[in-house]
Amino acid sequence: MNLRLLVSAVIVAAALPAHAQQTGIVTVNVTGVHSSAGNILANLCDDPKAQFPGGCATYQTMAIAQQGVTVLEFKGVKPGSYAVQLFHDEDGNMFPNIPPEGFGYGNDQPYPPDFAKSSIKVAGDTTTNVKMTYLGAPTTPTGQKGAPAPAGVTKVDLRENGLYGELYVPASDKPVPAIIVLGGSEGGVMTASQVGVGFAKHGYAVLALAYFQEEGLPKTLEGVPLEYFDKGVEWLKKQKGIDANHIGVIGGSRGSEAALLLGSRRKDITAVAAFAPSNYVWQGLGSNPMAAAAAWTLAGKAIPFVTPDGAAYRPDNMKLMFTNAIDKKPAADTEIAVEKINGPILFISGKADALWPSADMSNRAVARLKAKGFKHKVENWQYDGAGHLVFMGDPTSPGAISMSKAAPNPMLGGTGEAGMKAWTDNWPKTLAFFDAALKGKQ
């Protein structure tokens, strides 16, 4: 769920490593970007017979959006002719939602673009400019943030007491159990809400809770107070139609840290699921990715954290930074005390996760639980061929279907085919996990 990457403010090239001797860097200056929300995603396509615009991605890259001009880099590009296509992924779901999200093509071709006229010649290092086009309003009106509510579900905007989220409550003649959904390093509320609506369709109240990058919240994943999540739980328990005695939480990537920390601190959280997870607390993500700042605080003090090995950074292999740091045996107080969680725990990871070693970290968390004599049920699902996007919620959602058809992203790992296989398997099983924990169904 995660999709502003774990090292923020770095332009990350997702192109496959090139083996040819003569390759170059293609720099794309994207102008007219109307906000710094989300990312700019771009593809280069060398196949004139492919659908264009479409899923053809001989090379692909992304960069954190910067209002005005955003610079993209494709590394290791072989000489040839490539059509350029890009879009402004403001809501973080990696799917072009046009309008209102912006788009652009090589040589500023209008829609529908001609493949040849949208193509650039590459014979070494190359620079080109693309102007972003927006057909919708540049901002999202209040009340329109987050995924729309499914039929039979009421959506409530949470904008009080410093909290920012979306609450989805299904129609019911009795109080329903609730699940708090936390997104990852992409920030904001959109990804969490898109995952959350799937649970709402199955009889759960869902609080998709943003914890940075929304109005009134920290702009980056730095210094987020754990008390913020406490306030979210207390607010949720007071809402009409909520069964306050049955509340679970699910989080992915950096959100898995928040979910596991929340569960370890509160007895009223009785089920925790973590996907593409970490068993450690990692450093925060700010405007300077190499500045060692805490992601989380408690009572105004930094939660101890592990710093990735920056010397091992590679744009197509970020995992090594985390693996190296783990191999150096982090301080004991940086490991999350998962044994304090008051209920069953579920870990979901992809064995081909290239962003960080989520399968290894899941195994370490399970080993800790066993060593501490944890009495609740523990499940540890790991999927061959699946990458960082190992869980997407409902696999029939538009976002999941789109990602299953996308070209492999070496930065995240895995393939769309393996991802869809994992999502199709883990979605009903995740529902069953929460049904057993929060509804008493076996």
User: What are the tens digits of pLDDT across the range 222-258?
Assistant: 999 999 999 999 999 999 999 999 999 999 999 999 9
pLDDT at position 432: 98
297 phi, psi to nearest 5 deg? -130, 160
pLDDT of residue 13: 31
Between CA 318 and CA 87, with CA 394 as vertex, the angle to 5 degrees is 55
Q: Which residue's entry shows tokens 């109240």?
A: 205
Pick from 105, 121, 131: which is nearest to 52 by CA?
105
> For 400-434, how does the pLDDT look when each residue is reduced to its tens digit (9 = 90+)?
887 787 777 777 899 999 999 999 999 999 999 99
The residues, any chain, with a CB within 8 Å of residue 355's CB and separated by 6 or more, are 5, 6, 253, 276, 318, 319, 387, 388, 411, 412, 413
CB 207 within 8 A of CB 233: no
Measured from the Cβ of residue 370, the count of other Cβ atoms closer than 10 Å reads 11
pLDDT of res. 4 = 38
Residue 141 confidence (pLDDT) = 43
Q: What is the pLDDT of residue 138?
A: 43
Instruction: State how far Cα 99 lies from the chain centre.
Output: 22
Identify the pLDDT of residue 291. Answer: 66
Per-residue pLDDT of the chain (442 residues; tens, 9 = 90+): 443 333 332 223 333 333 444 899 999 999 999 888 888 999 999 999 887 887 788 999 999 988 889 999 999 999 999 999 999 988 776 767 776 789 999 999 988 889 999 999 999 999 999 999 987 544 444 445 888 999 999 999 999 999 999 999 999 999 999 999 999 988 889 889 999 999 999 999 999 999 998 989 998 899 999 999 999 999 999 999 999 999 999 999 999 999 999 999 999 999 999 999 999 999 998 766 556 799 999 999 999 999 999 888 776 678 999 999 999 999 999 999 999 999 999 999 999 999 999 999 999 999 999 999 999 999 999 999 999 999 999 999 877 887 787 777 777 899 999 999 999 999 999 999 999 999 997 6
Q: What pLDDT score was predicted for residue 413?
A: 92
**pLDDT (0 to 100) of residue 442:** 67
The DSSP letter of residue 335 is B
Amino acid type, 430: T
Amino acid 122: pLDDT:
95
- Residue 218's pLDDT is 92
Please report the pLDDT score of residue 90 as a whole number: 82
C-alpha–C-alpha distance, residues 76 and 369, integer Å: 44
Residue 213, pLDDT score = 87
In 10 A of CB 241, how many CB atoms?
A: 16
The predicted pLDDT at position 20 comes to 42
**Per-residue pLDDT tens over the stretch 115-135:** 999 999 999 999 999 999 987
| Residue-wise DSSP of 280-298 | B-BB-B-SSTTS--BSEEE
Is the separation of the CB atoms in 391 and 348 below 8 Å? Answer: yes
The whole model's pTM is what?
A: 0.74
